[in-house]
Amino acid sequence: MQRILQKTRSYCTVLKEVKKNQKIDKPKENKLNFTELKYPSKVPSKPIKQSFPTGEKPVIDNATIQLLERLALVNLESKEALSTLEKSIEFAEKISHIDTTNVLPLYTVLEDQNLYLREDSVTEGNCREDILRGAKVTEEDYFVSPPGNIPLQQKEKDFTDN
């Protein structure tokens, strides 16, 4: 163990056992003086102000909520959730003024690389049991779901202003 101590990284101070009453929660003395600079700083001393237009507050009507809930199969839980949704949309409006004429959408940063296609042959298999083990309900070798083609029952929301 002594050898380990000697070989310890030079920049990692050897920790001493701390006595019970000794406080080490104060920042230790920095060898570097962080307020002293040798050169005029390239970091701007004042924040760079960026202003983005504030658009109209979006209003999400009841029909839209119902549509979203049907598409997402997720329920809008509360008035707070609705206000978060509206704020997120307001937040997204901030880029609407940016000029993107003749700028193509960037779907992936690997756009210069062709997507790799492999031979259409089985490389891994015999995992039916492993896969089915994840399901809560199975019958023989099948996943089980309740009857389909029945529209979702939607309740009216009472926290909207409508």
Partner 1 sequence: MKRHLQLSIKQLSGFYADGSISPRTVVDHSLDDAIKLKRLNAFIRLSPEKALHQAKESDHRYENKEQLGVLDGVPIAIKDNFCTKELTTTCASRMLSNFVPPFNATVCERLANAGAVLIGKTNMDQFAMGSGTVDSIFGPSKNIWSNDLVDKWHIAGGSSGGSATAVAAGICYAAIGSDTGGSTRNPAAYCGVVGLKPTYGLISRHGLIPLVNSMDVPGIFARNVGDCLDVLNAIAGPDDRDSTTIRKPFRKIDMSFNEELDLRNVRIGIPKEYHCEGLSNEVLETWMKVADLLEDSGAHVHQVSLPNTSASIFVYSILNQCEVASNMARYDGIEYGHRAEIESSTEELYANTRAEGFNTVVKTRILTGNYFLLRKNYHKYFEKALRVRRLISEDFKRVFETPKNDENIVDVLLTPTTLTDAPLYNDFVSQSNRDQCAVQDFCTQPANMAGIPAISIPIRLSKRGLPIGLQLMSKSLNEEMLLRVAGWIEQQVEFDCLANEQIYAARS
Scan residues 85-144 and list those touching partner 1 (CB under 8 A).
85, 87-89, 91-92, 94-96, 98, 100, 103-110, 113, 115-116, 118, 127, 130-131, 133-137, 143-144
Contact residue for partner 1 among 126, 150, 155, 158 (CB under 8 A): 150
Residue 141: CB minimum distance to partner 1, A: 13
Work out the angle at residue 134's Cα, subtended by the Cα atoms of residues 132 and 135, and round it to the nearest 5 degrees. 75
Verify binding: residue 37, partner 1, rule CB under 8 A: yes
Build a one-symbol-per-residue string for 40-59: x at contacts with partner 1 by CB under 8 A, - elsewhere: -xxxxxxxxxx-x-------
Contact residue for partner 1 among 68, 79, 159, 162 (CB under 8 A): 68
The 8-class DSSP code of residue 142 comes to E
Contact residue for partner 1 among 62, 81, 159, 162 (CB under 8 A): 81
CA distance 109 to 106: 7
CA atoms within 13 Å, Cβ hemisphere of 73: 2
Q: Which residues are within 8 A (CB) of 24 and not within 5 positions of it... i.e. 6 or more apart?
A: 18
Pairing between β-strand 142-143 and β-strand 138-139 as defined by DSSP bridges:
antiparallel
Number of residues lying near partner 1 (CB under 8 A)? 97
